[in-house]
Chain A
């Protein structure tokens, strides 16, 4: 090969083909997917909680993309129906994830709606699932002598709070739980409106 121009032109052409397929076409087709009917935008507390989720790297063990029945028993496990692009209309950055060291969380809000359970589980996962390998997050909580007004106390199973102390949730923990409770994508994918007209005309 003689010419560096030919080399670099060739190399960059190859990369543009790949970029066209994997970046540009998705940009034109699915970037601005319409939010599905039933999908609610996040509240500010939920968005703050989403940042806590990102900051602590939850995405490295938990996916948010249930797969179809033909592929995996995700639905049987209660993780929800297969997700579609419209489910992620408000998700920037995306948190699809690539690992399931822990379960999929796309519908954790529906599966586990209790704030107290989430708080206690974040403080010490092994208080609820003895074999869990999820990290405990004591730094999202405060161990105090007594509960002050406005505090949210975490009701742990006996033996898991430090003796003589009460465990109080930080704002970060409360926001994170608000975000997880909002992860509920149980609404239907196929919207109803066009169907009746089509059925009637047939």
Chain B
């Protein structure tokens, strides 16, 4: 790290040795102190949880329900004699129209984002295609893709899932749904305006924060309105224990507004400081918004479907507080080698590596829970998507930790390698988990089964093979690109020409993913128009 710190910026080389030493000492002691404090904090959270039969983990089951698999099957296994199950049915009914609305929006943005992403990908190897249309130039259509995912698909699907799951976990019908309806309408109006602004070239100019701040005001109001029923329901809850999923979803819903507000205040940020803020936001919107929403879904649906409480409550605590503490500080690794203070970069690299702790805690916990129930991965559509997503969470997080190391970052930074990593996280993990959750929830809120197990399997394989091709090709291409750029004896143009075949493969992978999404949406429309009439059994997968 010492050589890297010298390389980080010119100013760092001017620091006197004693100063450098004291900086390291301060950083080190601050780090040790904060990790100790974190462990004490986690310990305090597990008070009264010393007994092995962690009651909090069983809160998602009605009495006697452990051992019963719940899968998308409207009406099955609902013995109305059980008061808890009646409560759950009431909670589901209270959220149905709202969740349905969120999912419809999510589907629309998924298609928009797929089309924009595919166009951007093709434009990188066919640069003169559609060149006369300003809004289709790479710099704009790529940005439309990112924003349609970041503010369209991901939050609409994630918040829809949260609105469904939270009343179930709190055993309380949703309070104040009209607020969320209004909020979602405002949010979507804002996104339409925002994408339009980007298309005509109005942009705030910061990655992840392109939408003009005037429009951001609508997002803030819309988002706050969506949060109202979740807070009201929390206040009216009828359970004592807050389940793991509630920790993740609850905190995500408070973290995101802070991130979004601080990042978008006009005139507050400037120059290099703005760059540091930019990546504090850019990484935290992934780590403290989409990731917790998706992890909450895994923590709820995986145990629910296999009918077995999550293995270790203590590991859940470690995973949650570890993520909350470490993830927030990793953003600076996007600026390694850049003109920002050296200590900030070092801090972010250290915390990126520390992220391995919560990731392993999550992985071991889910693996232990799933042990002996692997057959459910074959039959349950939800579990198959969520299982894939969970694995990709581990893979992308571990990859991300190592990518922050200077030696890896020197090659991977500024290349398509990073783009591949981003898609492993936001698609392989978050999006796949959301797909799985939607397969579970839609039959519950619509009262209809999915019409065709074959279409679910097709969606899964198109998405899984698509992201695999996407990730593998861009990872290899990006790494070779980085090595070419680091070799001063090779002309820069080498790093461009060598990526050409990999960029084409990326378009192939992207096209497969898009086909999967079209199948998904068509299947949803079939369900709406009543093609599942007569199906009373859950749409479980048989072969594939």
Contacts and interface: CB of A to CB of B under 8 A. Distances in A.
Interface stretch (A25-33, A40-48, A113-121, A150-158): A25-33
Interface in A96-143: 96-103, 125-126, 129, 131-139
B143 A60 contact: yes
Interface in A66-96: 67-73, 76-77, 81-85, 87-89, 91-96
A33 B41 CA distance: 38
A131 B492 contact: no
A73 B497 CA distance: 19
B11 A17 contact: no
B399 interface: no
Contacts, number: 266
Contacts of A100: 414-415, 485, 495
B444 interface: no
B344 A72 contact: no
A61 B324 contact: no
Nearest to A70: B7
A161 interface: no
A38 to B, nearest CB: 15
B127 A134 contact: yes
Contacts of B206: 93-94
Contacts of B338: 65, 67, 83, 96
A97 B339 CA distance: 12
A126 B497 CA distance: 13
B132 interface: yes
B75 interface: no
Contact of B134 (A8, A11, A30, A139): A139
B8 interface: yes
B496 A11 contact: no
Interface stretch (B110-118, B327-335, B377-385, B521-529): B327-335
Nearest to B248: A11
Contacts of A136: 127-128, 131
B124 interface: yes
Nearest to B207: A98
B276 A22 contact: yes
Contact of A71 (B56, B337, B500): B337
A161 B251 CA distance: 58
A11 B255 contact: yes
Given A12-B254, A72-B337, A88-B271, A98 B137 contact: no
Prevailing SS type, chain A contact patch: loop
B247 A7 contact: yes
Contacts of A25: 344
B476 to A, nearest CB: 16
A14 interface: yes
B276 A23 contact: yes
A167 B500 CA distance: 30
Given A26-B277, A103-B492, A72 B410 contact: yes
A59 interface: yes
Contacts of B505: none
Given A60-B139, A131-B493, A96 B10 contact: no
Nearest to B277: A23
Contact of A57 (B138, B271, B347, B503): B138
Contacts of B448: none
A2 to B, nearest CB: 6
B205 A59 contact: yes
B438 to A, nearest CB: 26
A18 B6 CA distance: 24
Interface string B318-353: 000100110111011011011111001001100000
19 contacts: A1-B45, A1-B247, A1-B317, A10-B321, A18-B329, A18-B331, A23-B273, A27-B273, A60-B207, A65-B339, A70-B6, A71-B337, A72-B337, A96-B335, A101-B124, A136-B127, A136-B128, A138-B131, A139-B133
- Report the 4 A-B pairs with minimum CB-CB distance, sorted nearest first: A57-B139, A18-B328, A73-B488, A55-B201
